[in-house]
Amino acid sequence: MTKKKYILKPGKHQFAPGSAAMHENDSLTDKEAAWYIKRYPHIKTLFEQLPGRQSSPIKQTQSEEGK
């Protein structure tokens, strides 16, 4: 089994304004997580990133900060 790159904090989360809180680790792929983060950058705080760091928030890369 492949480890996921994007791990949500526990519980269900709302990504898009006005949508239901329906996203959780069991139903979210890395591809979907990357898409949502690109479209809704404010949701980065809902994620933890693995591997390399344990339970650390996703940080913007330099290329993301310049956008």
Comparing 60 with 13, which gets the higher pLDDT?
A: 13
Q: What pLDDT, on a 0 to 100 scale, did the predictor assign at position 21?
A: 92
Separation of CA 63 from chain center: 18
Which pTM value belongs to this model? 0.65
* Structure-model confidence comparison of residues 2 and 31, the more confident one: 31
Task: Specify the pLDDT at position 47.
Answer: 87
The DSSP annotation for 6-57 comes to EEEPSS-B--STTS-S-B-GGG--HHHHHHHHHH-GGGGGGEEE-SSSSSEE
The pLDDT assigned to 56 comes to 46
- Number of Cβ within a 10 Å radius of residue 62: 6
The 10s digit of each residue's pLDDT in 21-64 is 999 989 899 999 889 988 998 888 888 864 344 554 445 445 54
